[in-house]
Structure formats: C-alpha cells, structure tokens
Structure 1
Amino acid sequence: MKAFISLLLVVLAVSFTLTLTACEKKGPAEKAGEKIDHAVEKTTDTVKDAAKKAEEGLKQ
C-alpha cells in the first residue's frame, strides 16, 4: 500500500510539473490581451499628459 501511495504521489508531482511547464507558453489570446493592456496604459498616459497641459494652460 505504501508503494502505491508513493507511486501516486510521484505521478501527481510529474503531472503538476508538466502542467506548469505547458502554461509558460503564451497563446494568441494572452498575447492579444497584453497588447490591449499596453494600448490602454499608453492611452491613459496620453490622456493624463493632455489633462496636465490643459490645466497648465488654464492657470496662465
């Protein structure tokens, strides 16, 4: 019985390791999501810069 439990634990550990290894590759959806995130960050920065410039213009 101990041998069976040990074998089961080894099989589970190997399966878990293989699952984690497979997850490191980025699929097309994840790549697209990253591009969208980058675009949103860039747009947010641009809007913040424009708001600062407009605020400075109003102060003068």
Structure 2
Amino acid sequence: MKKIVLIAAAAGLMSVAACSKSPEAAAVENSADMLADNMEMQADNMDAMADNTSNAVATDVLENAADNMNAAADNVRDAADEKTDNMN
C-alpha cells in the first residue's frame, strides 16, 4: 500500500514540475491574455455598434472590423504561446 501511495505522489509531483513556468513566461502569457481580452471586448463593442446602426454599409464595415479584431486577439494568444514554449 505504501508503494502505491509513494508512486502516486511521485507521479503527481513530476506532473506539477513539468507544468511549472518561469516568471518571465508567466508574465508574457498574462500580458498577452490581458491584451487579447481587451481586443475581444473592443470587437464586442464594434458588434454592438453594428447592431445599432441603420446604415447597411456601416454595419458591414463594423462587423468586418470586429472579425479582424477577434482574429488579431487569437494571433496575440498564439504568439504568446509560441514565445512561452521557447522560454521554458
């Protein structure tokens, strides 16, 4: 019984150690998440503006801008993930 507990504890500690990030990597990831979250909020605001306008052309422009902003937020997160993978 003790061997099973010891093996389970060792496996748990190894998985925690493998997932730890350096402070720099954590800072990059946190900054990217905050930036991407703000970009997504801006995209939501653009979508809301598109819903509130009566001009069809303006609606299309705002919806396209919102889509582009969401794509850019995804790119920020992807770039941060790539950067943190190279830091660990």
TM-score by length of 2: 0.39
The 5 A counterparts of 1:27-42 are 27-42=55-70
Aligned to 1:45: 73
Superposed CA RMSD: 1.6
Matches of 2:53 and 2:61, distance apart in 1:
14
Greater C-alpha radius of gyration: 1
Unaligned runs of 5+ in 2: 1-51
Name the structure, 1 or 2, with higher relative contact order (CA <8 Å, separation 6+). Answer: 2
TM-score by length of 1: 0.56
Q: CA deviation at 1:59?
A: 0.7
Counterpart residue type for residue 55 of structure 1: K
Matches of 1:39 and 1:58, distance apart in 2:
29
Matches of 2:79 and 2:53, distance apart in 1:
39
Distance 1:27 1:42, change over 3 A: same
* Pairs aligned (count): 37
Structure 1 runs (4+) deviating above 2 angstroms are none
- The sequence identity of aligned pairs, in percent, is 3
Counterpart residue type for residue 76 of structure 2: K
